[in-house]
């Protein structure tokens, strides 16, 4: 349980809010690379309560600038993207990817260049990797080191980033990505339908058989490694999650197959971009992974646009529940079920009213680390979870069945040993 003051500190991100100031100091996923094309339409992006446009100019470089034209505040999302710059359709003022005004044709010819140089434009550095346009919104003159996670280093075709949008605070999104205990309940109908991939026995069967996993942790400079251990039939089933704070949760997957990493990015205090990034280090992904998970809206930039809301009870099917479906969120993937539960809590959940249990150990840990990170940043200006010792490329989650005497801490996700069968 948090105090009201702690909850406000962790959740508020707009304006001068301390958490927002801290989170801006990290590289932030802004939009999919495929969303913007050279000389194509700009893409509107809202982060931390501020509105921007991302655009790709003629030579392929990417700009990320304020949406409101600094002249009369018309939307630059309407702009003409041509000849290596974005030109406002209202008066023709033109901006480059560095956020500089390079033409103001409404000014007299003799002062046009000098005037353009004085126009203030809010812009941020970008980095393109893993099929995503990332931005740095912090105050450092030189952006921090980019977190080169494994999925950011893979060839095209090996990575599929997709984005959902939910009407909740960013922390509700993050906490759903850290909670292993709910999987065997909220997602039980989806787990029960899983076929095909097995690891000595169906992974789903392990999760459904034990609703109270034991949690163990290893502190890491980027956050922590969590082991959720379930015991069934003389075997242990270990889901080893990697948590790279402040944003990323690497979802455990069986060795050798596709993986998923998720992150929760603040759009504003009460809206969140929830990214699901599927990737395969070994081979190109053979199918649309989000469709495979039951998410079929067809919009990779807002894949849950057809989810509904409280006014429709998120299309929950009570007849299906009576017939055996656990959540009643029928025909959709796990992400939809997570989103529905998160939105049902309200825009910002009052954590002072919670009654937490043993299954919430990972939630305690994440909150404590984030509170400590805010305190450190306010006192010293230093970022937590991002030291030079962090090897982002070696962060990989894994799940496996093993004999009870095998220690999950000794398993290397990049070189898993032969794991004991039943």
pLDDT score at 420: 45
CA atoms within 13 A on the CB side of 244: 22
pLDDT score at 112: 94
pLDDT score at 291: 72
Q: What is d(CA 225, CA 206) in angstroms, rounded to the nearest whole number?
A: 20
Q: Kindly indicate whether the domain formed by 27-135 is annotated with CATH number 2.102.10.10.
A: yes
Q: Which residues contact 221 (CB under 8 A, 6 or more apart)?
A: 385, 387, 389, 390
Beta bridge mates, 129: 132
Structural domain spans, the chain: 27-135, 150-410
pLDDT score at 396: 96
pLDDT score at 374: 98
Q: What is d(CA 173, CA 179) in angstroms, rounded to the nearest whole number?
A: 11
Beta bridge mates, 47: 50
Q: What is d(CA 217, CA 406) in angstroms, rounded to the nearest whole number?
A: 16
Please report the beta strands in 233-324, taking only residues with DSSP state E, as ranges in sequence order. 235-244, 248-251, 259-268, 271-279
| pLDDT one-digit tens code per residue, 311-343 | 999 999 999 999 999 899 998 888 999 999 999
DSSP class of 55: E
Assign a CATH topology to domain 150-410. Naphthalene 1,2-dioxygenase Alpha Subunit; Chain A, domain 1 (3.90.380)
> pTM (2 decimals)?
0.92
pLDDT score at 278: 95
First-to-last CA distance in the chain?
Answer: 40
Q: What is d(CA 298, CA 278) in angstroms, rounded to the nearest whole number?
A: 16
The phi, psi pair for 167, rounded to 5°, reads -90, 65
The phi, psi pair for 116, rounded to 5°, reads -60, -35
Residues with pLDDT less than 70, the chain: 192-211, 292-294, 417-422
């Amino acid at each position: 349980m948090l105090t009201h003051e702690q909850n406000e500190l962790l959740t508020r991100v707009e304006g001068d809010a301390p958490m927002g100031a801290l989170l801006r100091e990290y590289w932030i996923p802004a939009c999919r690379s495929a969303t913007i094309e050279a000389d194509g339409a700009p893409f509107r992006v809202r982060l931390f309560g501020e509105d921007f446009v991302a655009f790709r100019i003629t030579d392929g470089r990417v700009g990320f600038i304020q949406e409101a034209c600094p002249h009369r505040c018309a939307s630059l999302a309407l702009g003409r993207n041509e000849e290596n710059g974005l030109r406002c359709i209202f008066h023709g003022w033109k901006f480059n990817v560095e956020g500089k005004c390079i033409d103001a044709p409404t000014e007299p010819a003799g002062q046009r260049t000098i005037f353009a140089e004085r126009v203030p434009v809010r812009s941020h550095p970008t980095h393109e990797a893993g099929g995503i346009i990332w931005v740095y919104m912090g105050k450092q003159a030189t952006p921090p080191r980019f977190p080169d996670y494994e999925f950011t280093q893979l060839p095209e075709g090996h990575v599929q980033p997709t984005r959902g949008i939910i009407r909740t605070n960013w922390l509700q999104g993050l906490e759903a990505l850290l909670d292993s205990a709910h999987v065997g309940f909220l997602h039980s109908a989806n787990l029960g339908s899983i076929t095909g991939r097995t690891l000595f026995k169906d992974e789903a069967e392990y999760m459904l058989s034990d609703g109270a996993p034991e949690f163990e942790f290893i502190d890491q400079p980027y956050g922590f490694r969590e082991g959720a251990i379930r015991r069934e039939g003389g075997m242990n089933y270990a889901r080893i999650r990697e948590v790279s704070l402040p944003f990323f949760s690497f979802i455990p997957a069986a060795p050798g197959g596709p993986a998923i990493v998720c992150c929760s990015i603040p759009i504003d205090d009460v809206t969140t971009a929830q990214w699901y990034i599927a990737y395969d280090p070994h081979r190109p992904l053979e199918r649309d992974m989000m469709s495979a998970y039951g998410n079929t809206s067809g919009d990779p930039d807002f894949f849950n646009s057809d989810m509904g809301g409280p006014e429709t009870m998120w299309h929950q099917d009570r007849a299906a529940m009576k017939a055996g479906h656990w959540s009643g969120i029928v025909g959709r993937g796990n992400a939809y079920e997570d989103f529905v539960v998160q939105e049902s809590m309200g825009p910002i959940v009052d954590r002072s009213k919670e009654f937490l249990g043993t299954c919430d150990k990972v939630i305690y840990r994440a909150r404590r680390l984030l509170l400590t990170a805010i305190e450190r940043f306010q006192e010293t200006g230093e970022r937590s979870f991002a030291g030079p010792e962090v090897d982002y490329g070696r962060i990989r989650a894994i799940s496996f069945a093993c004999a009870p005497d095998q220690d999950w801490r000794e398993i290397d996700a990049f070189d898993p040993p032969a794991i004991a069968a039943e």
